[in-house]
Structure 1
């Protein structure tokens, strides 16, 4: 499975862009995008211990469902929680998809809060209700 990517917009100074272009021209990177991918990966690797500590701190909260990667919220998952008479706090590090057939009312009865570090695919009304 190919890694899904998201497009971002980034402003850099002309001097920084000139330096990047020079490195690309000299063969250090394939193109500007390749430079930024390497820069981001390097910085994230440098901060990995801090990231791990922050994630671990959040995972310890009660009634929380944490995902690193891809989380899909479906009607069935919500119905299973309702049968258990449980509510959930959802935290996702990656991609959260809320199925199109999930009604906002059902989600609000079951999921008290949603926090996404990454990308959310959901109906606009759900995004608005949860501040996503």
Structure 2
């Protein structure tokens, strides 16, 4: 049941965000792009974010260990949840990245096996499952 996959930045594996920048900051980014340091604004922003994450990597690792967070892509299939149910256990899902719950997972099975969900990133599940589990998602 430990099917965690490391994150890689692929076009299909990204989440769009919106940020507001001051005119001067934006102009400086455009200058860096114009001078050939970066291919476009997105390249600059991704590089800046990766540099900040690298700078704080030790803190991130320590926090993930302390909070027992899984990093990467984590999928919970119907079979995974049925195994948890047979064992008489409940899941505390804690993921940094992307957590998905299989489309064949029923609301009843999810409610019987998922105690709590904490995802820093994206949770992909049917709207029906998200609605049923809303009180357990934080």
Q: Scaled by the length of structure 1, what TM-score is found?
A: 0.88
Structure 1 partner of 2:59: 50
Return 5+ residue gaps in structure 1 as ranges: 60-65
Alignment of 1:18-57 (within 5 A): 18-57=27-66
Structure 2 partner of 1:86: 89
Instruction: Determine which of 95, 100, 103 is the counterpart of 1:100.
Output: 103
Q: Where in structure 1 do 4 or more consecutive aligned residues deviate above 6 Å? A: none
Structure 1 partner of 2:74: 71
Q: Distance in 1 between matches of 2:59 and 2:79?
A: 35
Instruction: Determine which of 118, 132, 137 is the counterpart of 1:131.
Output: 137
The Cα shift of 1:131 comes to: 3.4
Q: CA RMSD in A?
A: 1.6
Structure 1 partner of 2:4: none
Q: Scaled by the length of structure 2, what TM-score is found?
A: 0.84
Aligned length: 126
CA deviation string 1:28-64 (max 9, x = no partner):
11110000010000000011111011101111xxxxx
Q: Distance in 2 between matches of 1:14 and 1:127?
A: 39
The answer to which structure, 1 or 2, has the higher relative contact order (CA under 8 A, 6+ apart) is 2
Return 5+ residue gaps in structure 2 as ranges: 1-7
Instruction: Determine which of 12, 16, 23 is the counterpart of 2:21.
Output: 12
The Cα shift of 1:6 comes to: 1.3
